[in-house]
Amino acid sequence: MIGLFALAAATAATPAVTGDCAGALCDYSVLRPWFEKLAAARGGSGKPVHILQIGDSHTIGDSITGAWREALQARYGSGGRGVMPPGRPFQGYNPRGVSVDMSPGWTISSIFGAGSQNPAGARGLAGFSITSNVAGARIGLTASANETFTRLILCATAEPGAGNLVVTAGSQVDRMELGALLTRPECKTFEYDRPQYAVSVVTEGGPVTITSWASFRDAGGVALSNVGVVGSQFVHFSRNDDAVVAEELRSYDPDLIVIAFGTNEGFAPRVSPQEYEITLRTQIGRIRRLAGRVPILLLGAPDALTRRNELLSNAPTVTPAPCIEPVTLPPADPPPPPVASPADPQGIDDVLDSLGRSAAVAGGTAPVVPAPAATPAPRTGWAITARPLFPPPGLKVVREVQRKVAHQLRLAFWDWEARMGGRCTAVTWVKLQPTRMRGDYVHYNTLGGQDIAGRLQADLDAAMNAGGSWWR
């Protein structure tokens, strides 16, 4: 059985190109503008090629996007860290390539979770904003050697009575004044004549709200931004402000937008295909209206599993079959003991054996003690457990709607579940060495993030090579 799983994994790791599909990537021709820019990124100059990914915990956790960023920057050069939520918007936020800090004195607002209950300011692409009513509140960023920057963009809210932001990088000190007659979003760009490792942003005067910030290095290469909110669904993206999102998209100028929602939708208590399709079409249309003609790549929901019985019927479809798991089986039955000879009548062999044992004891020789029977070793195998794992049926519904809508709206679509190896693959990613997923059967460890990023880029490479002259 394990050999079959290994074969499936090997097959999943090899992209195939058929028609307008490369491996699990379909309708890739819509990515042509991005492919053309990426082909010119290596050894280029000026603005880097910018990928902006919006999603849930898979995105903001940066396990997959971080590995993808590192691979692209190793190939094409680093264009900086890209867009981030401001400061440290939640406990455990740990972006790769930079370290961030935030002083006390900030109120956090978000489109989902605790910060969404009493929002203190408008929110944009990142899904977070931070607001301070005290002077001297600070956020800071320190970049790794590979993510130094020559351009910093700070997005905040200009409004009546607002204070200022003092931006310090190296010996250069700038000020962003936010007092205005009318409330509006504003993004300001700060440029540096040499790469910077660190920046400090401090409030001055009245209240200040920051919605996002970004660091770029203008020497060609690639920047990959990952923004999202843990636990969120695409419908929650509607809670951000159109004007803020439009201003940020204008300032950050992405060359490719990646949409990576679907897992939390598939795990919802109730999944309606019709309602989800309306949400998907509405939010994609909204992003297109605000972003213009930027190509979009939609990532299908990955394989993910649960043991929660209440999710067995969370969508109007067939109840999923349980997944088999590696289990410890009881030892094999020992061989039956030899059949004892009758006590009476005794044969001549029994009499001689009895006399021999008596003589040995009388002569001082210890009796022969038979060796204990060996304890049978436990066995391993694959079986359905008493509380089995299964993919919620809502995940399948979400994936089917995503594929249909992507094709109809001319988005590129990547079948994440298929690229993992198909249904129930998460079992092997958790249970077999080397492990690539965490014990929740949803999230990925560092190795799993590298694996997913590698499979996605392999399909993108296959699409580029199949696409024709723009890649050559």
Residues 318-345: what's their mean pLDDT? 72
Give the model's pLDDT for residue 147. 98
Give the model's pLDDT for residue 369. 56
Percentage with pLDDT > 70 across the chain: 85
Q: How confident is the model at residue 318 (pLDDT cuts 50, 70, 90)?
A: confident
Tell me if 357 is assigned to some domain: no
CA–CA gap between residue 112 and residue 119 (Å, rounded): 10
pLDDT at 7 over 60: no
Residues 40-50: what's their mean pLDDT? 88
Q: How many CB atoms lie within 10 A of CB 280?
A: 24
Quick: pLDDT tens for 151-165: 999 999 999 999 999
Tell me if 228 is assigned to some domain: yes
Query: CA nearest 311: which of 442, 180, 443?
Result: 442
Indicate the number of domains in the chain: 1
Identity of residue 159: E
CA–CA gap between residue 52 and residue 288 (Å, rounded): 14
pLDDT at 361 over 60: no
The larger pLDDT score, comparing residue 345 to residue 21, is at 21
Instruction: Report the CATH number at residue 465.
Output: 3.40.50.1110
Quick: pLDDT tens for 183-211: 999 999 999 999 999 999 999 998 999 99
Tell me if 342 is assigned to some domain: no
Q: How many CB atoms lie within 10 A of CB 366?
A: 7
Residues 224-231: what's their mean pLDDT? 98
Residue 300 burial (10 A CB sphere; 0-12, 13-18, 19+): buried
Q: How many CB atoms lie within 10 A of CB 92?
A: 8
Residues 104-121: what's their mean pLDDT? 89
Tell me if 402 is assigned to some domain: yes
Which CA distances in Å does 428 have to 15, 389, 424, 436, 448?
20, 12, 8, 9, 12
Tell me if 11 is assigned to some domain: yes
Quick: pLDDT tens for 260-307: 999 999 999 999 999 999 999 999 999 999 999 999 999 999 999 999
The larger pLDDT score, comparing residue 359 to residue 164, is at 164
Q: How confident is the model at residue 468 (pLDDT cuts 50, 70, 90)?
A: low
Which CA distances in Å does 446 have to 26, 63, 244?
27, 6, 33
Please, how many CA atoms are within 13 Å of residue 232, restricted to the half-sphere of its CB? 32
Give the model's pLDDT for residue 119. 74
Give the model's pLDDT for residue 168. 98
Give the residue numbers spanning the domain of 107. Answer: 2-325+383-471
pLDDT at 34 over 90: yes
The DSSP bridge partners found for residue 53 are 226, 258
Tell me if 441 is assigned to some domain: yes
CA angle, 346 as apex, 341 and 348 as ends, to 5°? 110
Give the model's pLDDT for residue 4. 33
Residues 219-238: what's their mean pLDDT? 97
Tell me if 250 is assigned to some domain: yes
Q: Say which range, 66-75, 126-135, 461-470, has the weakest mean pLDDT.
A: 461-470
Quick: pLDDT tens for 243-259: 999 999 999 999 999 99
Query: CA nearest 51: which of 411, 233, 297?
Result: 297
CA–CA gap between residue 199 and residue 203 (Å, rounded): 14
pLDDT at 43 over 80: no
Q: How confident is the model at residue 370 (pLDDT cuts 50, 70, 90)?
A: low
The larger pLDDT score, comparing residue 466 to residue 219, is at 219
- Residue 370 CB partners (closer than 8 Å, separation 6+): none
pLDDT at 440 over 50: yes
Give the model's pLDDT for residue 23. 76
Tell me if 351 is assigned to some domain: no
CA–CA gap between residue 384 and residue 382 (Å, rounded): 7
Residues 422-430: what's their mean pLDDT? 97
pLDDT at 149 over 50: yes
Quick check: helix, strand or coil at residue 196? Answer: strand
> Is the bond preceding 367 in cis, omega lying within 30 degrees of 0?
no
Residues 94-101: what's their mean pLDDT? 96
Ordered DSSP codes for 379-415: EEEEE--SS-BB--HHHHHHHHHHHHHHHHTT-EEE-
CA–CA gap between residue 281 and residue 235 (Å, rounded): 11
Q: Say which range, 144-158, 168-182, 367-381, 451-465, has the weakest mean pLDDT.
A: 367-381
Which CA distances in Å does 336 have to 212, 329, 340, 341, 373?
73, 20, 12, 15, 11
